[in-house]
Amino acid sequence: MFEELLDLYKTKIAEIDREKKEAQAMVTLIAAIDKMSGDLSSKQNEMELIGRLIDQVDRLSRDVADLRSQFRAKLGRASPIPE
């Protein structure tokens, strides 16, 4: 009778250990998914920032091109025409 009870306890302990390991694995998985989610969110914010910076550089490039053409036009008008 004691051996049967001992076997029952051993079986129950093995089952509890297995459930504990499964629970720990789930917690680890959830933590990993949470970290990945945070990384993706961070990368999305970085991509939005890069997009805005690209837009600003594009605008500045157009402004510089406009200023150059205005400067060239003023230089063309300011120089006397030789006769």
pLDDT of res. 28:
97
Round to the nearest angstrom and report the end-to-end CA distance of the chain. 126
Q: What is the pTM of this model?
A: 0.55
pLDDT, tens only, 9-39: 999 999 999 999 999 999 999 999 999 999 9
Between CA 14 and CA 28 the distance in angstroms is 21
* The dihedral sign for the CA sequence 66, 69, 71, 73: negative
> Within 13 A of 13's CA, how many CA atoms are on the CB side?
6
Indicate the pLDDT class of residue 82, thresholds 50, 70 and 90: low
- What's the DSSP call for residue 79? S
Q: Quote the mean pLDDT of the chain.
A: 91
